[in-house]
Structure 1
Amino acid sequence: MDSAATALGLDFGTTNTVAALADGTGESHLVSFAGDRATGPVFRSALCFWEDEDAWNGIAHEAGPWAIGEYLDSPLDSRFVQSFKTVAASASFERALIFGKPFRFEDLGQRFLQRLVAHSGGRLDRRPRRVIVGRPVEYAGARPDPALARQRYDAMLADFGVELHYVYEPLGAAFSYAARLTEPATILVADFGGGTTDFSIVRVEAPGAARRCVPLASAGIGIAGDRFDQRIVSQLLLPLLGKGGHYRSFGKVLDIPGGYFADFADWSRLAMMRNRRTLEELRRLQRDCIDPVPIGRMIALIEHEQGFPLYDAVGQVKRALSQGEEAVFHFEGGGVDLRATVTREAFEQWIADDLIRIEAAMDVALDRAATDAAAIDRVFLTGGSSLIPAIRAIFDRRFGSERIATGGELTSIAHGLALIGEQPDLAGWTA
């Protein structure tokens, strides 16, 4: 670790994790990871497990892009887990069984951070006393429990920093963006992550002010990039895997139960569908289906651990639709070949209700700050999903394109969190 580092900013994201170190001079520097599979400062929030009699408890693991590599090298002999942050506040999630061993959220998190440090090229071997951790304003999931999430985060980070502070993620991005400004402004930051969309309103004073940034209000909602992926899976892919189909039972024709499709459309649950009980149920269902071919595709995808490449193909289509009016989804793997064309117009219809709820969350932030759109001088959009045209259109309509700024979609939060860690008084920033 750099000997001059005074604070560490950790943006533990649903999709990606980024770390930054403040140097005591008002600057922060992203931690780039080392190795042949490294992807610069962006470390994928993923884990891969495989059985190894020489490893602790008989199970070895990797994280980040190295987890992806291990999985792709041996998909049938490994278990791949990503987006596990989405269950942090879920009381219904107790543990995941991986090769018969139970893993709590904090167990997954600790193993993830161990490998993140190991791949940091020594820059995180000795961390500064003060560690600033980003957290969403509102956690993902049905009936999220913030107190439970805090308890799990504390356990996950117990060995990561002596002095832990939690700060809303969009406030980190706000502090980072404020460094660009040369005059006073009231700014709205919209952070579109993988699991949540969060908003913060901050008053930025002129450079040299005793207190440069003053948080005014925050709000959020558990809808973001992963939800948009689920819409594509549900609308485009699941009909090819049996959704809407029928089976015969005791002389009656019944709808195929929707629970299988709900699990398949949720990455955190899809990864756990490869178990004997679920596969036996699907095979019995396939025998009774009027058209057994689509369910056969689902079984093959689960059996051959094709979840990651399938969702990667979905993400590619989503990104392609940010650039063009139409995209072709194509996936081939596990003996399954899927191809379909999707238009941007159709995608925007699928996420229309989600966008309404996201805009309503933004209005909550404005109300809490006792302000309105006219009083916002600058809007800073960050996070990967901020590039979706339908999302950008909301802000163009509400604020005008001349007030909108973007940049550092994956790194601005960590950069700002580290800078916040240098502030003498964190009381106004911590959540």
Structure 2
Amino acid sequence: MTSHATASALGLDFGTTNTVVALTDGQGGSQLVEYAGDDATGAVFRSALCFWEEERAWQGIAHEAGPWAITEYLQSPLDSRFVQSFKSVAASASFERALIFNKPYRFEDMGRLFLQRLVAHAGGRLDTLPQRVIVGRPVEYAGARPDPVLARQRYDAMLAAFGTEIIYVHEPLGAAHSYSARLTEPATILVADFGGGTTDFSIVRVAAPGAPRRCVPLASSGIGIAGDRFDYRIIDRLVLPLLGKGGLYRSFDKLLEIPGGHFRDFADWSRLALMRNRRTMAELARLQRDAVDPEPIGRMIALIEHEQGFPLYDAVGKLKRALSSESQAEFRFSGEGVDIAATVRRADFETWIADDLRRIEAAMDAAMARAGAAPESIDRVFLTGGSSLIPAIGAMFERRFGAERIATGGELTSIAHGLALIGAEDDPGEWAA
């Protein structure tokens, strides 16, 4: 394992669900940073924060990140705030700040706190950071109207103390560098990165080993649909009907369908924990009062008040993983008056996400059109990111390119590896997004 003192560059894959860091090893390769402690999960650091009130802490609020955030939450869920997928709001102008224990936190505030704890848990390997930091960014940010200029400003503020030379590179290009190390002959490759918040594509021409410039990017594209959207589909089908979605409420002398805004927020991991604020809870209480059937809205209130976001996320994740290997699986969730036990067929799940997959495929077509590449001109397809393990996604690529051209591996770590390799180049700025 290479020490941080010998590293000339650092690759940071700050993901919606997980974050991974790699350091150059001085020998043309890179090594992942692994974390130390009983709660550590190897090189994968969950992109999550937990806050709780503590008199001795700065301004009376303590925090943890990564798997340690999960442990803190599980020890005292009612007295904490668990925030995950906050990367999803980076490009959202509608998100200004989150009130946590009545203290405002901007995106960059949460990001800085997250990185501080990531460094602290790295066992000393990040105590002295390389000046050059290569940061992955999506080709297209998540959100309804993503603002890439705003996202860049927020990233810059988040990373102000993390390195003196910050270079942003599209995430699939990092994966392309990682995968190209496997190749022994020239090839045109399509990299598909299925993250938590976005799906990104890059087409790259890879030269023979030893070439002055091994990788040449041809085109990229992306879309703000990925693992969290698939989670949303599960919540929408199995949970939200029990929380009042589709129900009616009284407005003067009319019966109207309950608006969908609170349901959309509830099914969005980046917003669910932030619903536990005075204003939102008061709005839900009024909605419960006016609802024809108040009991489902009462269930939603109870789930929010009792911080059931993580258990719900965990149940959805277990279902998705099971459906990646089985034709059907059980969805089980129990908390605060909501008990769900449902058998879900893989075919049903694939129906729920079918429109999302069509839009993802259209984004891939856009990258190929920009590169002037037909399917037969693609020599290799590299699938990375956790959601690439969903069978319907693999099947989509097999139909287009054939199973023999598809490669996988390092689903959670390939981007960080490749970003560090880019950082070791003489002019990594050539890859800047």
TM-score (norm 1): 0.97
Distance in structure 2 (CA, Å) of the matches to 1:93 and 1:339: 35
Partner of 1:198: 200
- Tell me by how many angstroms 1:397 deviates: 0.5
Match of 1:344 among 335, 339, 346: 346
Distance in structure 1 (CA, Å) of the matches to 2:90 and 2:281: 27
1:281-336 C-alpha deviation (Å, 9 max, x unpaired): 33343344333332222121111110111111111111211111212111112343
Partner of 1:314: 316
- Tell me by how many angstroms 1:343 deviates: 1.5
Is the aligned partner of 1:40 residue 2:42?
yes
Partner of 1:270: 272
Structure 1 range deviating more: 83-92 or 262-271: 262-271
Contact 1:246 1:255 in 2 (8 A): yes
For 1:37, the aligned partner's letter is D
Describe the shift of the 1:250–1:145 C-alpha distance in structure 2 as closer, same or farther (beyond 3 A). closer
Matches within 5 A, 1:242-261: 242-261=244-263
Partner of 1:56: 58
Match of 1:186 among 179, 185, 188: 188
Contact 1:9 1:416 in 2 (8 A): yes
Partner of 2:432: 430
Structure 1 range deviating more: 338-347 or 149-158: 338-347
For 1:428, the aligned partner's letter is E
1:74-119 C-alpha deviation (Å, 9 max, x unpaired): 1111111111111111111111111111111110100000000000
Distance in structure 2 (CA, Å) of the matches to 1:248 and 1:152: 42
Distance in structure 1 (CA, Å) of the matches to 2:43 and 2:27: 21
For 1:109, the aligned partner's letter is G
Contact 1:270 1:307 in 2 (8 A): yes
Distance in structure 1 (CA, Å) of the matches to 2:95 and 2:154: 12
Partner of 1:398: 400
SS of structure 1 residue aligned to 2:140: coil
SS of structure 2 residue aligned to 1:3: helix
Partner of 1:211: 213
Distance in structure 2 (CA, Å) of the matches to 1:249 and 1:216: 56
| RMSD across aligned positions (CA) | 1.3
Contact 2:134 2:167 in 1 (8 A): yes
Partner of 1:123: 125
Contact 1:214 1:428 in 2 (8 A): no
Contact 2:89 2:95 in 1 (8 A): yes
For 1:57, the aligned partner's letter is Q
- Tell me by how many angstroms 1:236 deviates: 1.7
SS of structure 1 residue aligned to 2:221: strand
1:253-303 C-alpha deviation (Å, 9 max, x unpaired): 332222221111112221122123333333343344333332222121111
1:122-174 C-alpha deviation (Å, 9 max, x unpaired): 00000112111100011111111111111111110010001111111000000
For these two proteins, the number of residue pairs brought into alignment is 431
1:30-80 C-alpha deviation (Å, 9 max, x unpaired): 000001100000000000111112111111110000011111111111111
Matches within 5 A, 1:94-173: 94-173=96-175
Describe the shift of the 1:335–1:235 C-alpha distance in structure 2 as closer, same or farther (beyond 3 A). closer
Matches within 5 A, 1:287-326: 287-326=289-328
4+ aligned runs moved over 4 Å, structure 1: none
Is the aligned partner of 1:30 residue 2:27?
no
SS of structure 1 residue aligned to 2:421: helix
TM-score (norm 2): 0.97
SS of structure 2 residue aligned to 1:254: strand
For 1:144, the aligned partner's letter is P
Contact 1:170 1:413 in 2 (8 A): yes
Distance in structure 2 (CA, Å) of the matches to 1:426 and 1:188: 21
Distance in structure 2 (CA, Å) of the matches to 1:143 and 1:291: 34
For 1:160, the aligned partner's letter is F
For 2:186, the aligned partner's letter is P
- Tell me by how many angstroms 1:339 deviates: 1.9
Structure 1 range deviating more: 197-206 or 316-325: 316-325
Contact 1:300 1:336 in 2 (8 A): no
Contact 2:99 2:277 in 1 (8 A): no
Distance in structure 2 (CA, Å) of the matches to 1:210 and 1:282: 61
1:368-399 C-alpha deviation (Å, 9 max, x unpaired): 11111110000000000001111111100100
Partner of 1:378: 380
